[in-house]
């Protein structure tokens, strides 16, 4: 079994800088990070609400486009910008610019309070499109400093693709796990530099990001809790993915809540049951995080049941899972 250090490159510098990507004025609905002193972002938002279409609403939406046809599903949730500061910034990680969408609550003076718990929001294979950006706003409404990094950007822009097969072959399959872990470390360092409380760190991921949630909870001892929505736990090995979550359960550093659909054809229930058995065995061998971890199956529900912009959305399961996730993070020390 590989050591914890084997998945990680050298941690990103503590003074990771932010670069400007666009000065769009008031129209785009995104804002500069207040008090960051490290960069500039797109447009602005205010407590009075969204002033215009966001960059992601105007340009990308590859998740909607690939799977929902030319229009967004009627079930797509649109979280208000009221009471939030939202921004898209460019995080300089070892000289490479990584787009990061952030959302956080603001106080009566319009400032982001110091000491907010940090929530990493990890996308499906479609990158940080509007659904993922909206999830960061939902976490911000719950009191988190939420960050959604574009983890595919070195290999390509998911929003430039119009078919799933090409996206998987040309971008997703070429992303090394070590690169992902390193970028997440840099995001955490940046959040700390903005005054967020990185001792209260959570990670929430969907599909591809669900697997990342498992791996990061097995890698970074700062993580307090993780939620993995229908994330793969096993699979084939290669140089970019030398191991999978089920093989590193003994290294688990934070409890994970796994949320799965029993009818998911891409992630078998039998495979997730094996993960559950591995967690039980690790817990019996003294791994506290494994003993505390839980997996829930939703009957008559398939893959991507939380994705409200897709036909796979199941409102009852999505709402139940969301409430479980918020409670999970609170119970494991992210909320005071």
Of 182, 244, 303, 306, which one is the catalytic site residue? 303
Q: Is the pLDDT of residue 13 over 50?
A: no
In the chain, what are the domain boundaries? 19-331
**H helical segments located in the chain:** 55-59, 62-67, 130-141, 164-170, 177-193, 208-217, 269-284, 288-292, 315-331
At 71 the pLDDT is: 52
198: tokens are: 């990185």
pLDDT digits (tens, 9 = 90+) for 275-289: 999 999 999 999 999
pTM value is 0.84
In this prediction, residue 328 has a pLDDT band, given cuts at 50, 70 and 90, of very high
pLDDT band at 155 (very low <50, low <70, confident <90, very high): very high
Residue with tokens 């899972």: 321
Residue 161 confidence (pLDDT): 85
For domain 19-331, which architecture applies? 3-Layer(aba) Sandwich (3.40)
Using the predicted structure, report yes or no on whether residue 236 has a pLDDT greater than 60: yes
207 is catalytic: yes
Contacts 24+ apart (CB under 8 A), 16-21: 16/91, 16/92, 16/93, 16/186, 16/189, 16/190, 16/193, 17/92, 18/89, 18/90, 18/91, 18/92, 18/190, 19/90, 19/92, 19/97, 20/90, 21/88, 21/89, 21/90, 21/97, 21/99
Give whole-number Cα distances, 236 to 67, 141, 214, 228, 242, in Å.
26, 38, 16, 20, 9
* Confidence band for 21, pLDDT divided at 50, 70 and 90: very low
Cα–Cα distance between 318 and 305 in angstroms, integer? 6
Q: Which SS3 state, helix, strand or coil, does residue 225 take?
A: strand
Per the structure block, which two tokens stand in for 316? 């009852």
In this prediction, residues 252-256 reach a mean pLDDT of 98
Vertex 270: Cα angle to 245 and 249 (nearest 5) = 20
Encoded tokens for 327:
């409670």
Give the Cα separation of 148 and 209 in Å (integer).
11
Q: Is 86 a catalytic residue?
A: no
In this predicted structure, the answer to whether residue 9 has a pLDDT above a threshold of 80 is: no
For residues 73 and 310, is the Cβ–Cβ distance under 8 A?
yes
pLDDT, position 33: 57
Whether 130 has a pLDDT exceeding 50, the answer reads yes
pLDDT at position 47, please? Answer: 30
What percent of the chain lies above the pLDDT cut of 70? 79
Tokens of 329: 């993070």
Residue whose token pair is 């602005």: 44
Q: What is the pLDDT of residues 44-73, one digit of tens each?
A: 333 323 333 344 443 333 345 454 444 567
Please tell me which residue in 207, 244, 306, 308 is annotated as part of the active site. 207
In this predicted structure, the answer to whether residue 36 has a pLDDT above a threshold of 50 is no
264 is catalytic: yes
Summary mean pLDDT of the chain: 84
Which residues face 259 on adjacent strands? 229, 296
């Amino acid at each position: 079994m590989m050591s914890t250090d084997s998945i990680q490159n050298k941690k990103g510098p503590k003074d990771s800088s932010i670069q400007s990507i666009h000065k769009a004025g008031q129209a785009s609905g995104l804002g500069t990070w207040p008090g960051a002193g490290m960069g500039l972002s797109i447009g602005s938002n205010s407590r009075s609400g969204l002033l215009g279409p966001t960059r992601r609403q105007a340009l990308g939406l590859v998740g909607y486009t690939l799977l929902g046809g030319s229009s967004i599903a009627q079930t797509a949730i649109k979280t208000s910008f009221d009471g939030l500061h939202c921004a898209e910034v460019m995080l300089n990680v070892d000289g490479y610019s990584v787009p990061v969408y952030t959302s956080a609550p603001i106080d009566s003076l319009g400032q982001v309070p110091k000491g907010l718990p940090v929530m990493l929001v990890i996308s499906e294979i479609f990158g940080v499109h509007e659904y993922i950006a909206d999830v960061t706003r939902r976490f911000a409404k719950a009191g988190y400093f939420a960050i959604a990094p574009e983890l595919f950007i070195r290999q390509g822009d998911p929003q430039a693709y119009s078919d799933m097969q090409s996206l998987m072959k040309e971008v997703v399959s070429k992303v090394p796990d070590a690169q992902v872990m390193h970028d997440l470390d840099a995001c955490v360092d940046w959040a700390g530099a903005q005054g967020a409380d990185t001792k209260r760190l959570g990670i929430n991921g969907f599909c591809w990001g669900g697997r990342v949630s498992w791996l990061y909870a097995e890698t970074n001892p700062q993580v307090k809790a993780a939620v993995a929505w229908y994330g793969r736990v096993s699979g084939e090995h290669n140089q970019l993915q030398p191991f999978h979550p089920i093989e590193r359960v003994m290294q688990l550093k934070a409890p994970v809540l796994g949320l799965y659909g029993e009818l998911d054809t891409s992630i078998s229930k039998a495979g997730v049951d094996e993960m559950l058995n591995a967690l039980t065995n690790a817990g019996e061998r003294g791994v506290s995080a494994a003993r505390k971890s839980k997996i829930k199956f939703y009957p008559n529900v398939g893959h991507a049941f939380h994705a409200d912009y897709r036909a796979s959305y199941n409102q009852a399961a999505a709402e139940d899972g969301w409430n479980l996730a918020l409670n999970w993070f609170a119970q494991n020390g992210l909320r005071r």
